[in-house]
Structure 1
Amino acid sequence: MNQKKYKDMDESLLKAVNIPIELYESTLGQYFIGYAYNLVFGEGTSAWARLYNPIKSGVILHVNVWTVTDVSDSAFRAQFWFNATPPESNVNYAPVTPTNLVIKPQPRAKVRLEYASNVDGNPTGGIKAFVRRAQPETTLVDTENGKIIIGEGGNFLVFLSNPETPELLSSGRVAFGWWEEKIKNNCKCND
């Protein structure tokens, strides 16, 4: 094949590259990370951290990864809830950051990372989706690949407790990675 025919064929080929969805969302400035640290509980109390997608945020939350770290000397339980109401408490807000640090000005997350320590009671409503047991000085990690999808007004809550050793004081950390998909207005209204 001569060089001209090869060049014409090369220019007509469509180039395709497969990249992980997390990288794609990060290049768009839509991927964020954050963590709640020093979650203290025990002696009859619990703690929680959640990704909360506010009403009228204009985005759909896709949970990509979560981690739960047990930084205490005793095991504890981590319950994972969809759209539950946490026990009444003083809510704190953890800082979050976009993962694409090249974009200026930096994108701001619409989803909030909220947390509370030393709370009484259990989550209500919603769905308890799964439960994990954290061992001392270990980190649980799971990659959800965006398959946990939360709409406006919903949340993904991690609830920490130590029911087997309630007299002990425990502490942990919860971290999340997620992306935010803008809600498209598909209204075909007549103007």
Structure 2
Amino acid sequence: MKTVRDYIRTIPDFPEKGVMFRDVTTLFGNARGFRMAVDQLLHPYAGLRFDKVVALDARGFILGGAVAHQLSAGFVPIRKKGKLPFATLEEEYQLEYGQAVVEIHEDAIEPGEKVLLVDDLLATGGTAAAGIRLIERLGGEIIGCAFIIDLPDLGGRARLEELGMSVHALCSFEGE
């Protein structure tokens, strides 16, 4: 029987030499694999009520919409700076070489709303940590952070757990 990991394609040396890119488009493109991933992302949260699913730009949006639908929750995108049309809050975070900024609409989450943060991949945790800070600034209560892939050697899970987050990942690729 196939696992979620079996549907993920690995592309060596993309976007640069030495990087093993984990391509989830092959998972998304397979109906059985995609359904499996969404169901397994939700499994630890069975019976819990969520008001919003927040997803990170851009592959997280694909998952976030499906997960929000399954939870009968609203969907909130966290986008790269300059992509949202209304008043926003922004959060800067570190990249390997430089900085980036993500934004959320200032009215996207009401204080006290229960939130699930979703993305395809957890690497260093920089983008997810920035998303967490935005959600918390709006008063959202983050119940969990769910990812398809964890790259544990890059420390993202530990970083999010240090922030007090519960982290759920469907598979990991260690040492690669």
- Verify same fold: TM over 0.5: no
More helix by share: 2
**Which of 1 and 2 has higher RCO (CA within 8 Å, sep 6+)?**
1
TM-score (norm 2): 0.27
TM-score, normalised with respect to structure 1? 0.26
Q: Which has the higher strand share?
A: 1
**Could you say which structure has the larger radius of gyration?**
1
